[in-house]
């Protein structure tokens, strides 16, 4: 049996939480719709459910191809679910920074990075501000 270090366990836990967040967002549209989305992700884009955390660049593009402009709403729902599941709170200090920098991919990467560095969250906070690339987290 392989032993995993703390960082590997945190990474796997984050990946699981991200997949759960995606499941919850897709389930919001209905169970049959969720299954249809996963089918199209696999068939058309070669992304299966478990690969979403490792294919963060491809996933939003695939969702946008399926849903068009409405994909942004799903991404926001996924980010909200990820926040709930990891207990990571993201405060946007500058709204201009939000539109330019806080994409689904950037958000997921930042949460993953902090999650792995802390080995998990217990009511943590992420602060994104303009002028500098600053991420603050509190435990």
Of the listed ranges 2-6, 37-41, 59-63, 135-139, the least confidently predicted one is 135-139
- Structure tokens belonging to residue 77: 């729902």
Helices and strands (H, E) in the chain, number of each type: 6, 3
pTM check: above 0.95: no
Mean per-residue pLDDT of the chain? 77
| Secondary structure, 3-state, 50-98 | HHHHHHCCHHHHHHHHHHHHHHHHHHHHHHHHHHHHHCEEEEECCHHHH
Domain extent at residue 39: 6-136
Query: What confidence tens digit (pLDDT) does each residue in 26-63 have?
Result: 999 999 999 999 999 999 999 999 999 999 999 999 99
Q: What is the CATH number of the domain that holds 99?
A: 1.10.1200.200
Instruction: State how many domains the chain has.
Output: 1
Q: Tell me whether residue 13 is exposed, middle or buried, using C-beta atoms within 10 angstroms of its C-beta: 0 to 12, 13 to 18, 19 or more.
A: middle
1 occurs within a structural domain: no
């Amino acid at each position: 049996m392989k032993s995993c270090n703390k960082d590997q366990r945190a990474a796997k836990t984050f990946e699981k939480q991200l997949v759960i967040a995606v499941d919850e967002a897709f389930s919001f549209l209905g169970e049959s719709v969720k299954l249809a989305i996963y089918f199209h992700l696999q068939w058309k884009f070669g992304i299966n459910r478990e690969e979403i955390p490792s294919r963060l660049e491809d996933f939003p593009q695939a969702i946008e191809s399926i849903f068009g402009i409405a994909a942004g709403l799903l991404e926001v729902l996924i980010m909200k679910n990820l926040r709930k599941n990891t207990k990571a709170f993201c405060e946007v200090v500058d709204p201009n920074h939000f539109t330019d920098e806080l994409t689904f991919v950037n958000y997921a990467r930042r949460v993953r990075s902090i999650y792995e560095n802390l080995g998990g969250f217990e009511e943590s906070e992420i602060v994104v501000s303009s002028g500098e690339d600053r991420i603050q987290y509190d435990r």
